Structure 1
């Protein structure tokens, strides 16, 4: 099994759980790709999408699990909308930001593609992980991600599931 980890705005650094996951999997002998997308603080969708596509082309055609956080989830949704030929085994999308969020730095990633079926078709299994008090996804906006009709695990009051909400290395 190969792994692809997709960070969000500002990267996943300084003890973020995605760093911990990457190192933990590598210590177990797993192949992990953790591309560091350019200009973390002022991302451009077309640039990140090209970088993601290039990274996926480098990964052997073997089972692949994608683990995305925050804006990385939104990037994955845009990637899936391209309807490329490679189908992924598993995708876990943790705390995507609201498609109605007004944060200027990420507006290039919105709106999301209207067609929702390509996201389900891009992987054999997909899962959203959401938190009831994510400051970047108000509860009333969760319905957008539920409308993809993919499994969704909603965790009570865990914030954005990042360092600010206590998620560095996991046990």
Structure 2
């Protein structure tokens, strides 16, 4: 039973309460979990270092009990980047949803500050990671999920036929224990 979920939003204008379908689907599927939802700084113009600092503060505030990270879009790729430097104790699983893969294979997504290190596959090999993406995502193409899965060979790749950039059907698949 998941007791705590750290939800990391993506970049761009953030919807008001109840406005992020991914967050609301997580809330509905795991109603008894304490859902931690930090505001990551300047989402319209994200700074990689400021996001890492904010994620670090949120992680340090989590009590010593089993927990899970769900990161949507940039929140997912930034969660992975954070974990390359420190894997917190009692972290059970990471679920990225529609996360971009910042690498040369995606020239429009080649911002060096957000890129994962080349050692990401080895560094995170013992961590349970699920990469969720919808085939019809028109913001971050599903090729990004395949790229992340190549970089993270121990990750489970879940490709959904639909859901766009805000897929929610994954929540009923038991991907968070």
* Same fold at TM > 0.5: yes
2:163 aligned partner: 158
2:98 aligned partner: 95
2:20 aligned partner: 16
Ranges in structure 2 where 5+ consecutive residues have no aligned partner: 173-177
Q: Report how far residue 53 of structure 1 moved.
A: 0.7
**Partner Cα separation in structure 2 for residue 141 and residue 30 of structure 1:** 29
CA contact (8 A) 1:44 1:108 kept: no
Equivalent of 2:124 in 119, 125, 136: 119
Equivalent of 2:42 in 39, 42, 45: 39
CA contact (8 A) 2:131 2:145 kept: no
1:65 match: secondary structure: strand
**Partner Cα separation in structure 2 for residue 48 and residue 120 of structure 1:** 23
Q: 1:131 to 1:86 in 2, by over 3 A?
A: same
TM-score normalised to structure 2 length: 0.76
2:52 match: secondary structure: helix
Task: Note the 1:60-99 alignment, pairs <5 A.
Answer: 60-99=63-102
**Partner Cα separation in structure 2 for residue 22 and residue 130 of structure 1:** 15
**Partner Cα separation in structure 2 for residue 143 and residue 23 of structure 1:** 27
**Partner Cα separation in structure 2 for residue 155 and residue 86 of structure 1:** 30
Q: 1:58 to 1:145 in 2, by over 3 A?
A: same
TM-score normalised to structure 1 length: 0.79
**Partner Cα separation in structure 1 for residue 166 and residue 93 of structure 2:** 20
Ranges in structure 1 where 5+ consecutive residues have no aligned partner: none
Number of residue equivalences: 160
| 1:106-164 Cα shifts (integer Å, max 9, x gaps) | 9364332111222333x3x22111111222333444431121121111001322126xx
2:146 aligned partner: 143
Q: 1:74 to 1:101 in 2, by over 3 A?
A: farther
2:114 pairs with 1:110: yes
**Partner Cα separation in structure 2 for residue 94 and residue 158 of structure 1:** 11
